[in-house]
Structure 1
Amino acid sequence: MGILANIFTWWNGATIGTALWSKRNGSRVGEDYEGNVYFQGGKGIDGNPRRWVMYKGSNDASRVPAEWHGWLHHTFEEAPESALPPPRIWEKEFTPNLTGTPQAYRPSGAIEKGGKRQSATGDYEAWTPDAG
């Protein structure tokens, strides 16, 4: 189903139509360390150049690093590869949103962790309308 998936689905990456349109109407600006490719071409309704990303793998906006997000939204004009200052020692490495993946956080009462919640400690009293 590889070719059919590329023709008709957008959630597994770019469709064939989008990929062809990007190569024809845009110029490649750069690539991030995850393999996402960034393009620019044409003018938007606001007069700014149109910018977009072709994801490597699933389409998930949280996979766009902060520096490329700033470029996509015209926070700065230069591509991040040439315009960013060196990283500070206190900056953390970029991590994508892990929601919906096996690495997502699951508290002890989550179904994926067995669904067993801790027993109540007795310090909670339910509200009733008669308690007024």
Structure 2
Amino acid sequence: MVSLLRTVRSIRRVGVREWWRQMQYIGDAKSGTYMGKDQFGNRYFENTNQYEEIPGRHRWVDFAQHNYHASQVPPEWHSWLQHIRLNPPPQDPVMLNSSPPWQAPWVENLTGTRGAYRPYNTATRKISAWEPKTAARA
């Protein structure tokens, strides 16, 4: 539950418009340091004030799209959000130097959309619908 004092502090830090947007999307009033942006336009934040945030909820993502889901977070940012890596990808020397040329760019999961993968099938169906055959009566 968001306390009144924390809400007022957040409104003063981020402004009324951003506070209202956060309440509509994440249901919480948050303010923190901007850490970076990914290729989808998602913004990542961190609040290191231990008295304002619940432990483990001090890193968060502000999704760029209205209909968002977890697969829109690239793996490098996911590892930072889940505390697998200490530094965010733009500041992490390991992440900056490890970009294999054979690796395809990250794409969100498109299952359930028009862009979902559908394999091409050449086999005939094992079960076919019954079609009655009618003949003209004499």
Alignment TM class, shorter chain as reference: 0.5 to 0.7
2:117 is matched with which residue: 87, 101, 105? 105
Unaligned runs of 5+ in 2: 1-19, 128-138
Instruction: Give the distance between the partners of 2:125 and 2:68, measured in 1 at CA.
Output: 40
Aligned length: 100
Whether contact under 8 Å (2:22, 2:29) holds in the other structure is: no
Q: If the length of structure 2 is used for normalisation, what is the TM-score?
A: 0.59
Partner residue, 1:77: 86
Unaligned runs of 5+ in 1: 1-6, 8-12, 110-116, 122-132
Instruction: Give the distance between the partners of 1:32 and 1:106, measured in 2 at CA.
Output: 28
The CA deviation at 1:74 is 0.7
Closer/same/farther in 2, CA of residues 16 and 120 from structure 1, 3 Å limit: closer
Partner residue, 2:42: 36
Matched, 1:21 2:33: no
Identity of aligned residues (%): 32
Q: Which runs of 4+ in 1 moved over 6 A?
A: none
The CA deviation at 1:55 is 0.6
* Secondary structure at the counterpart of residue 58 of structure 2: strand
* Secondary structure at the counterpart of residue 103 of structure 1: coil
The CA deviation at 1:100 is 1.7
Larger Rg: 2
Listed as ranges, the matches of 1:1-132 within 5 Å are 15-16=23-24, 18=26, 21-22=29-30, 25-41=31-47, 42-43=49-50, 46=55, 50-57=58-65, 58-83=67-92, 84=95, 85-107=97-119, 118-120=124-126
Instruction: Give the distance between the partners of 1:36 and 1:64, measured in 2 at CA.
Output: 8
Amino acid at match of 2:36: G
Closer/same/farther in 2, CA of residues 29 and 19 from structure 1, 3 Å limit: farther
